[in-house]
Structure 1
Amino acid sequence: MSPTVQPPPADPRTRATSDGTAVTITGWRCTACHYPMTQQVTACMECRGEVEETTFATEGEVWASTCLRVRVPGHQPPFAVAYVVLDGGPRVLVHTGGDQPLAPGTRARVVAVSETGDLVAEPDGPVSAQEVAS
């Protein structure tokens, strides 16, 4: 009996496209409770209501950030990543450039989609020493 071939898992990353000048982040929002989601689902994860495809803002606030010092395929350590809560949207994982994590509360903007499909964000404006996480 031959083994069953499983299809590759769906890419769990946020769906985003870039035309070189602007990034569009696509997801779903519940039509009943307005909960934002990045994963494609058939019903809202909060209330089981209907969902519709939508786009989200590219700006938001850093929720958490860290520096990864382990090798991840396609990335040379050390590098910083952050979760950014998009304005009116979901929380997304972004690469922030360099190896200095951003402090929670720092405003950030998604500016690109990397060659490997990751979101890339920069601080929205100058970053003070207090806005760099220790």
Structure 2
Amino acid sequence: MASSKTGKRSPAPADPRPEIREENGRHLLVGGRCGHCGLASAYAPPICPCGQVGGVEPCTFGPSGTVFSSTVLEIPVPGRTPPVCLAYVDLDEGPRILAHVELDSGPPPEPGAKVSLNVKNDLGDLVVSIGSTPVLDNHGAHND
């Protein structure tokens, strides 16, 4: 809870970052898709930008995506040790998200590289790993 200037305690703001759920060993982003226009979103807003109230249905996206763009931050950012790699990722059949990239001392991913959703880091940021996640059926078996 945060304090206001009047001394009253106000609730802490909600974390705006997307939610990740694990299903059958895969990490999926919990978002929404408009039933009217089909727009995918990293969250389920009450009104779609196309103007449809209540038309956004909750759904999940991932676990794989394609890098749209990436960069490496070499400057210190509080709570993070440089270098830090960030990428815009187009989730398969889903929205574009901003995520931290696990580099494992390799080069940053190029546009078009496949990545897969991972768990959030200790700071709550979305994390992706280079390479795609195998497609599993409903019983956890590979569906190659």
TM-score of the aligned structures, taking structure 2 as reference length: 0.73
For 2:76, the equivalent position in structure 1 comes to: 71
Q: CA offset at residue 18 of structure 1?
A: 3.8
Selected match of 2:51 from 48, 51, 70: 48
Q: Does the 8 Å CA contact 1:22/1:112 hold for their aligned counterparts?
A: no
Identity over aligned residues, as a percent?
35
2:72–2:85 contact (8 Å) kept in structure 1? yes
Match of residue 27 from structure 1:
31
Taking structure 1 as reference, are residues 12 and 85 closer, same or farther at Cα in structure 2, changes over 3 Å only?
A: same
The superposition leaves residues 95-117 of structure 1 with CA deviations (integer Å, 9 ceiling, x where unpaired) of 11236321111111113222222
Question: RMSD over aligned Cα, in angstroms?
Answer: 2.4
Q: How far apart, in 2, do the equivalents of 1:56 and 1:39 lie?
A: 11
Aligned partner letter, 2:51: R
C-alpha distance after superposition, 1:26-74 (max 9, x if no partner): 00110101101113411112x1221111111211110010001233333
**2:114·2:131 contact (CA, 8 Å) conserved in 1?**
yes
What does residue 120 of structure 1 align with?
127
Contact map agreement 2:66 2:113 (CA 8 A) in 1 = yes
Please show how residues 59-98 of structure 1 align to structure 2 within 5 Å: 59-98=64-103
User: Which ranges of structure 2 fall in alignment gaps of 5 or more residues?
Assistant: 133-144
1:17–1:113 Cα contact (<8 Å) kept: no
The list of structure 1 runs, each at least 4 consecutive aligned residues, that deviate by more than 6 angstroms after superposition, is none
Q: Output the TM-score relative to the length of structure 1.
A: 0.78
Give, as a single letter, the amino acid of the residue that structure 2 aligns with 1:37.
Answer: S
Greater C-alpha radius of gyration: 2
DSSP-derived class of the 1:92 partner: strand
In structure 1, C-alpha distance between the alignment counterparts of 2:14 and 2:108, rounded to whole Å: 28
Q: Residues 71 and 9 (structure 1 numbering): CA distance in 2 closer, same or farther, change over 3 Å? A: farther
Q: Number of matched residues? A: 124
Q: 1:122 to 1:114 in 2, by over 3 A?
A: same
